[in-house]
Amino acid sequence: MIARIQRLLPAFIFLALAVGCSRDEPPVSTAAPVVAETAIPAQAPVTVPDVEWRRHGMNEAETRFSTLADINDANVSKLGLAWYFDYPTARGMEATPLVVDGVIYTSGSWSMVYANDAVTGELLWFYDPQVPRNWAVHGCCDVVNRGVAFDKGRLYFGTYDGRLISLNAADGSVRWSVQTTDTERPYTITGAPRIAKDKVIIGNGGGEFGVRGYVTAYDLDSGEQEWRFYTVPGNPADGFENDAMKRAADTWGGGEWWVIGGGGTVWDSMAYDPELNLLYVGVGNGAPWNRQIRSPAGGDNLYLSSIVALNPDDGSYVWHYQTTPGETWDYTATQHMILADIPIGDKVRKVIMQAPKNGFFYVLDRATGELLSAEAYAAMTWATGVDMKTGRPLEVEGARYENGPTNLQLPGPIGGHNWHPMSFSPDTGLVYIPAQDAPWVYATDEGFKYQPGYWNTGTDNRVAALPDDPALRAQVLAEVKGAIIAWDPVAGKPRWRVEHVGPWNGGMLSTAGNLLLQGNGSGQLVAYKADTGDVLWDFDAQTGIVAPPVTFRIDGTQYIAVVAGWGGVLALSGGDALKTGPVANRSRLLVFKLGGEASLPPAVDKPLIIDPPPLTATAEQVAEGFQQFMIYCMPCHGDGAVSGGVTPDLRALTPEKHAMWDAIVLGGMHWQNGMVGFSGVLAKEQADNIHHYVIERAHFAVDQGEGAVVEEEAMVVDEEEGEVVEAD
């Protein structure tokens, strides 16, 4: 609105001057002429209403389906770039834009918030909450933010360091800010808040590092805390917050899970049904992952990996459904949940649908939590199905790695589907799942020792690393895939499937124009026919896309917008398993319309040279370094030191950076980029061994001929924000 007023200003001034010049003239009547009864009235101009995107999932049901059809399967080939906006950062971008009153609100790396004119792209304001850059190392999944919430001219968003902030949407000024987490613990916030009546609800993350999950509701006006619901029990000796916690504690045992925290973070998905007055929260994995360490006596460990329905008025428990009892694989149920009314049997049921990491697509009655169907949407080796009487998965012998490592297991910790939003089209009756196959070998870390603030999964990630043997490596990589699955939730099976180069692709948007839109890890935004999956249009975004597109209409023109920019957990940690090779991160807001004629500047990529120093270490030192690397470095620098493009590829360090190893790794010289010093947890000898391992990996890459010169990771470099992303 501000920008529109600004755009109108010159015309207004001109008009005022023109009127001023003629003020001595006799006034000209502006009264409407009297229309004779026989005259034909002039046709009123057809006004097409504006259509906004006001809620994270488009609506409270989170369908991400738009009734707009001005852009459709017949004309989408004419879709072109209307404008773009370059963000000043080069880390992961996962936000769903909101569009309200002509302004597009997005959030990006380090929890920064931006307001642009939705028609012209003009930046109206931006807000940087000044997240401490060294916080990056205490979160698993990149310094991303999945979006803001809007209500009555006010914005709400979470920050990576655990604050919930409310801004005035008009100018980005701060209304209030609250710390929703214990800053002594490695909590992070990457998910978008949701609005339920007069409250804003926010969860948090940190399950891999050791926290206790919860959701909190705050008053929209004052920011005062209204209620908090913990998802896992605390120390029974301290008493329980409510009956739900007391019941949950009976399903944990044999160890002190509260020391590491238990997990169960609500780091992404929520949905709200105003009619049933229920708030649904998706609960995450256990902390640590490994139940043998977390709860040695076994048990289901409620409410890990569950959909929990709460009364939004007071945060009280209403019902739950646990997708993965006794979670031990990072099989979260934090994935996107969609509310819909669909025919099941001979009647229309109010359902909630989810495709959590564990590979089953669930349809539940959303009033009661009754299980209506559970069918495998992704390849799976850990279970053979779900018992419809008990609602429990039928686990395969050995899947729990209690007596040794698993075989290559599907799904792995990134899931058959991760946070990337799905879309449900009532026109096609299909749920579009951004799915993936990424196998993993689960094994207990026999020497596990809790390291507060760092990676604490209780699993031996060395066993899961890609094997060096070329044949074995190829065999594993052949199983790694990405796909769009068009899932029929009534029939409980896929109707069609589109294959991608690798896993880790963008979220979904479907429209009444028979369109399905998705960005992907190969850097394309693609429009498909929603009913068949045929490709209709694509656009080279010059960067990987993981965020979901949205659509809106202003002054009769429909637009499609997506936040482009590579990042997120697999982009950081995936290594060669990404299959796309390193992908540049150019963080950009891209907005399209029919006949749009804007173009992107040419992408300039430098080749990445791997020229390692000589390897002087023993095999034993390299092995020691490998162990430490997988605990402290892998979460950001990738399996095998192979960067996915967001952080530096450590195999390609320059001689100068090798010389500064101790200053960077122990001393924290690059803390402003998120690379803190590890002198508190790593001895000099351990840092040396990690260095040996990185050098060994560089020689391995050169020997394989795959890495002597690989495609550039190069990204946008912004001096002001300290986002210098050459090798550190």
Of 189 and 217, the one with the shorter C-beta distance to Ca ion is: 189
CB of 273 to Ca ion, least distance (A): 26
- Residue 462 in 3-state DSSP? helix
- Which residues, including other chains, have CB under 8 Å from residue 126's CB and lie 6 or more apart? 112, 113, 114, 115, 172
- Residue 476 in 3-state DSSP? helix
CA 108 vs. chain centroid, Å, equals 11
Of 61 and 414, the one with the shorter C-beta distance to Ca ion is: 414
DSSP lists the bridge partners of residue 494 as: 487
DSSP state of 682: -
CB of 440 to Ca ion, least distance (A): 12
CB of 62 to Ca ion, least distance (A): 21
Of 285 and 543, the one with the shorter C-beta distance to Ca ion is: 285
Using CB under 5 A as the criterion, which residues of the chain lie in contact with Ca ion when the complex forms? 207, 285, 330
- Which residues, including other chains, have CB under 8 Å from residue 475's CB and lie 6 or more apart? none
DSSP lists the bridge partners of residue 103 as: 100, 117
Of 106 and 573, the one with the shorter C-beta distance to Ca ion is: 573
Annotated active-site positions, please? 330
CA pair distance 57, 336, nearest whole angstrom: 9
CB of 245 to Ca ion, least distance (A): 22
CA pair distance 412, 331, nearest whole angstrom: 8
Helices of type H across 129-240: none
CB of 546 to Ca ion, least distance (A): 16
CB of 330 to Ca ion, least distance (A): 5
- Which amino acid is residue 594, in one-letter code? L
Are 190 and 204 in contact by the 8 Å Cβ rule? The answer is no
Of 55 and 357, the one with the shorter C-beta distance to Ca ion is: 357
Strand order in the sheet with 278-282: 270-273, 278-282, 306-311, 316-322
- Residue 437 in 3-state DSSP? strand
Of 335 and 689, the one with the shorter C-beta distance to Ca ion is: 335
Of 207 and 282, the one with the shorter C-beta distance to Ca ion is: 207
CA pair distance 193, 435, nearest whole angstrom: 24
CA pair distance 118, 123, nearest whole angstrom: 9
Are 288 and 445 in contact by the 8 Å Cβ rule? The answer is no
- Which amino acid is residue 287, in one-letter code? A
Can you tell me which residue has the tokens 């990405």? 482
DSSP lists the bridge partners of residue 278 as: 273
CB of 110 to Ca ion, least distance (A): 21
Q: How many angstroms separate the first and last alpha carbons of the chain?
A: 43
Of 145 and 324, the one with the shorter C-beta distance to Ca ion is: 324
Other C-beta atoms closer than 10 Å to the C-beta of 349 total 17
Are 571 and 504 in contact by the 8 Å Cβ rule? The answer is yes
CA pair distance 355, 483, nearest whole angstrom: 14
CB of 284 to Ca ion, least distance (A): 6
CA pair distance 248, 296, nearest whole angstrom: 16
CB of 712 to Ca ion, least distance (A): 30
CA pair distance 496, 487, nearest whole angstrom: 8
